Structure 1
Amino acid sequence: MKTYHYTLLFFLLAISFAFSLPVPRSEENPPEREGKDYAVFFYVTKFQPGWQGLPDTKTEVEALSKELRDNYGFIEPELVPNPTKQQIYDKIAAWNERLGPDDQVLFFFSMHGYYDPASELGYLIAADGISKDRYYKTWLDYNSLRPYFAQCKAKHVLVALDACYSGSFGNIEKSPDYPAYDEDLDCESQIATSFDYRVRQYVCAGSREAKTPGKSLFAAKMLETLRRGATNADGILRFEDLTYALGKIRTPEPVHGAFSGHEPGGQFVFVHKNACAPKPDRDGDDVPDGVDKCPDTWGSRADGCPQEIRADNTALDLQAWKNARQLNTEPAYRDYLRQFPNGEFKDAANVALRRIEGEAIRRREDIAWEVALEKNTPATYKKYLADYPAGLYRDEADTKIKALELADNREVVRNKPTQNGGIENNSEKPVSSVTAPVVIENYLKAIGGKEALKRVNDMKMSMTASAEGQIFDLVIQRKMPNKVVMTMLVSGFVLSQTKFDGEKGVVMDMNGEVQALNEVSLKTFKEQSGIFEEIEYATNGTKLQLKGVEKVEGRDAYKLEITTPFGTKITDFFDKATWLKIRSVEIEQGDEGPVTSTTDYEDYRTVSGIKVPYTMKMSGSTPIPMAFKVQLVDINKGIPNSEFYID
């Protein structure tokens, strides 16, 4: 599956950028805390006879889940469709064991509700709730539900009830007349204060007397509030901010309150991915772009612009230049340009920097060539060519590769009888028992077989890597024929998300800005005609060439050069013993020249009859090698088309 290789490579730029982010917080990372944020959505679309169906609950909770995951850092919210009464109890109990003391959790219910004035009890109607249940045995009453929330290990619990008569859950409090933002506290203190106390809060779509519409105003207003964020600029949406916004709905008017275990002063908080982010400062001169009159040029003046060199500063400029030229080092020239960005010798300083950079590149190439000569193998010469495709020694490298491969691809035939009855002297003949199509055919058999692979309609993979003190989460969703969504998170917050709907594609950065994919990126996605592209090699114009056998981490592997219909070249390596793909290599054109990306595949496991690599090690295009560990693989679980929708 070169799918993994293409997909992971697309995120290398985002990963490289993430390494430059300061720890523990940056524009992407809000103030860190020990706990995580979770959400569980229970919704019912189909009920027992006698109850009207609620088809909109599915799309409503999916939209809320997506917003919390993408923009508020919630850890892959769980959707529980059409649960029975017992399944709701069991699911909450399971989450109670999973959650930690510093976590936040939202339990959201979207289904029918009922209130019995005689007993003053409220109920939720699960998928198995009987319509005319005289004693309400199949209904889920709030008195039985509240103890489950009380026993939850999470410090913050918020219950949201989108159901008729749901105000019967608890004691109702008055909606605030204004948002909860405290001007006297900075952003980090706002969050820290909220986590000082235990939280047990709830919010309902209406009072105990109120019926709610089938198409929920409550869910729509909650989604709108999350998308707009808090009224303050720091990106913190507290419980009182939420109830203030929900209070704008008049019929029926949502209600809220606290229940057993709540500590006064505690607030459930939704922390946006850019919460507490410093103001943008592109040139790094500590003058925010909003007031910087020279936002793209470092400057020492209060308005963010460089100091102008006056006549009395010319002598200082000259002396600084002489010092830099005497040292003749990259730091010395850069220091001169920092002091005098518009100095008399700025052009000369830039020329010197380019000269030093060119010399360093040539030195690295000379060393790489000496290493190739010392090892004298096809692999090392090819690595030299991959790293330096226009290098000084490219012709010599090509010559040596051809000579070595010719020797490796010949076998000695000793004392073979000739047709006339004589004995042929020792000779060499080419070996060609395996062809490129045979390698692909055996690979497809090894991972599950063509028929099983063709039945895969959608696939979701979640994987994690850690580097430089940060946790990277990559979630890939793919759907036939060629839809894909890839989300990269850093420490739980979205760094980048890319969508391709089969025709067009967009990428969203950590600030929520959306841009169309460029032609090169679109070409890459269009080449991914399916989840398992190798099935189509024989019919879509892909060219294959078997380049012999090489060692990969001590294992003999068939080396296959693949040229896609768009002209992209990839080199894949397949284990001779198992036929599984164990390495992919691709050379891409970067901003500073060709970049060689290598992905190693390990730890294959069987999921729904398909073998999937659970470890993917990447090197070449990131500052340091990274190993992604797969946490979850879902095959044919029905990913909705809405996940791939592009406005």
Structure 2
Amino acid sequence: MKAYIIPLIAFLLAIGNSTMAQNLSDKSNSLHLDFSGEGLPNSHSLPTITWISPTLEYSSSVETKVHIKARISSSKIIDQIKLNIGDDQSGEVLSSKLIEIEPHQKEVNIDQSIWLPNGAVFLELEVIDHHRATVSAQRKMTIGEGALKNMISMNRKDYALIFATDRYDHWGDLVNPIDDGHAMAKILRERYGFEVEIIENAPVDQVWSVLRSYNERNFNPQDQLLIFFAGHGQYDETFGEGYVVASNSLKNDVAKTTYISHNRLRGVIDNIPSEHILLAMDVCFGGTLDPVLARSRGLQSYTVSVSDMLIRKFDKRTRKYLTSGGKEYVSDGIPGSHSPFMSKLLHSLGTLGGEDRVLTMSEIKSNMENLSQVPRFGSFGSDEKLSDFVFIAK
């Protein structure tokens, strides 16, 4: 076995630099190598597993019959594909099924329906190639309406990250962002149970550092994250891009290296491992977060029960945005009062969603329609249709 130490290190380093790195870094995927055969396989020859459905690593279904789709690809002949169904709590495999494949096959598409037990389960595809290298990939699901309702009520948390800036080194100071941020934090904590972090007057490096820390966090499948920016914004006609102005952004920064670009902001926030994210911005030109301002559709409304509505919403990946305006300057308001946008947002939050105690983005949109500067609602990144961000009153 000692003879394999140096080649194994080299092999693992090769994996880190290969196209397989993304597949192997996913916490639901794993790799196993059998050294009893012909030796170490080339890293580029390992099979790859691409889940098509379920799309999310964590998802749910009120039905026990679930449709799965996946694509298996290998440069070597595939010897075996096995589907394991297990109990996610204990890790025990409850049943296994061999997927039928043709001799000498290197590409396999899986498309079939299976029955799953109620509760928290995992689906695992395990692929063994001709060199006995085994690659596996999992999807975890909560099955059954009762199990999902329990998970929604017990195993979820709402978070808010608020960036508020009213003091600037090179721009004119503002009067309301800090007060607006604290007012929003208060109602989110007291009425909706959010865990809130407020970042005041942050320079550009601190903004990216804090966002990086959220990219490194672990979130439960039904957790929600609200990210809010209040302060100056700018739009550069030459670059065709909008920016959030940090406390140390230079007034005449032609390259915009001291600003927070909307393009980078979208990508960094989309990468945060929370399935449900709302980005809200009370800044000038905030609507230019969306490269095409006028294409966002109205959000979905529901006529089903509150419980079923929440099940549907938490089953979809959410990337929504709400900004105080489009490609325009917006009012900061007068001293001692909130900005017009924040006043309406706080009023919406204060309704607690009415009788069902659930405030949806559709309801917030309706409450803001009479503002002179019409807020923008839309989606970004990996948002899925029918998803929504909801505020559930305590």
Give the TM-score range, shorter chain: 0.5 to 0.7
Asked if residue 190 in structure 1 is aligned to residue 313 in structure 2, the reply is: no
Residue aligning to 1:223: 346
Output the amino acid matched with 1:148. Answer: V
Larger radius of gyration: 1
Residue aligning to 2:250: 130
Contact kept, 8 Å, 1:121 with 1:141, in 2: the verdict is: yes
Residue aligning to 1:82: 201
After the TM superposition, which segments of 4 or more aligned residues of structure 1 sit over 4 Å from their partners? Answer: 173-176
Match for residue 113 of structure 1 among 213, 221, 233: 233
Output the amino acid matched with 1:66. Answer: K
Match for residue 148 of structure 1 among 268, 282, 296: 268
Output the amino acid matched with 2:156. Answer: G
Cα distance in 1, alignment partners of residues 233 and 360 from structure 2: 27
Residue aligning to 2:136: none
User: In 2 relative to 1, CA 210–117 (structure 1 residues): closer, same or farther, beyond 3 Å?
Assistant: same
Deviation at 1:134, TM superposition (A): 2.0
- SS in structure 2 at match of 1:32: helix
Cα distance in 1, alignment partners of residues 283 and 179 from structure 2: 16
Deviation at 1:127, TM superposition (A): 0.7
Contact kept, 8 Å, 1:105 with 1:158, in 2: the verdict is: yes
Aligned-CA RMSD value:
2.1
Report Cα offsets for 1:123-179 as digits up to 9, x if no partner.
010011011212212111111111111111101010001101111101445574xx9
Cα distance in 2, alignment partners of residues 212 and 55 from structure 1: 11
Asked if residue 100 in structure 1 is aligned to residue 219 in structure 2, the reply is: yes
Output the amino acid matched with 1:253. Answer: V
Deviation at 1:118, TM superposition (A): 2.1
Structure with a larger share of its residues in helix: 1
Cα distance in 2, alignment partners of residues 198 and 118 from structure 1: 33
Output the amino acid matched with 1:132. Answer: N
Alignment of 1:320-359 (within 5 A): none
Asked if residue 67 in structure 1 is aligned to residue 190 in structure 2, the reply is: no
Cα distance in 2, alignment partners of residues 226 and 205 from structure 1: 16
Report Cα offsets for 1:351-394 as digits up to 9, x if no partner.
xxxxxxxxxxxxxxxxxxxxxxxxxxxxxxxxxxxxxxxxxxxx
- SS in structure 2 at match of 1:100: coil
Output the amino acid matched with 1:128. Answer: N
Residue aligning to 2:355: 233
Cα distance in 2, alignment partners of residues 99 and 224 from structure 1: 32
Residue aligning to 2:332: 213
Cα distance in 1, alignment partners of residues 297 and 368 from structure 2: 9
- SS in structure 2 at match of 1:60: helix
Contact kept, 8 Å, 2:174 with 2:332, in 1: the verdict is: no
Cα distance in 2, alignment partners of residues 61 and 165 from structure 1: 19
Output the amino acid matched with 1:193. Answer: R
Deviation at 1:112, TM superposition (A): 0.3
Identity among equivalent pairs (%): 28
Residue aligning to 2:369: 247
User: In 2 relative to 1, CA 31–156 (structure 1 residues): closer, same or farther, beyond 3 Å?
Assistant: closer
Residue aligning to 1:32: 153
User: In 2 relative to 1, CA 219–155 (structure 1 residues): closer, same or farther, beyond 3 Å?
Assistant: same
- Matched pairs, number: 239
User: In 2 relative to 1, CA 242–154 (structure 1 residues): closer, same or farther, beyond 3 Å?
Assistant: same
Deviation at 1:190, TM superposition (A): 1.5
Contact kept, 8 Å, 1:206 with 1:212, in 2: the verdict is: no
- SS in structure 2 at match of 1:87: helix
Residue aligning to 1:266: 387
Deviation at 1:181, TM superposition (A): 4.7
Output the amino acid matched with 1:246. Answer: M
Alignment of 1:83-482 (within 5 A): 83-102=202-221, 103-170=223-290, 171-172=292-293, 173=295, 176=298, 181-183=301-303, 185-215=304-334, 216-230=339-353, 232-250=354-372, 252-273=373-394
Cα distance in 2, alignment partners of residues 65 and 100 from structure 1: 20
User: In 2 relative to 1, CA 31–137 (structure 1 residues): closer, same or farther, beyond 3 Å?
Assistant: closer
Gaps of 5+ in 1: 1-24, 274-647
Residue aligning to 1:600: none
Gaps of 5+ in 2: 1-145
Deviation at 1:211, TM superposition (A): 3.2
Residue aligning to 2:53: none
Cα distance in 2, alignment partners of residues 155 and 198 from structure 1: 5
Output the amino acid matched with 2:184. Answer: L
Contact kept, 8 Å, 1:222 with 1:242, in 2: the verdict is: yes
Cα distance in 2, alignment partners of residues 248 and 53 from structure 1: 28
Cα distance in 2, alignment partners of residues 33 and 201 from structure 1: 24
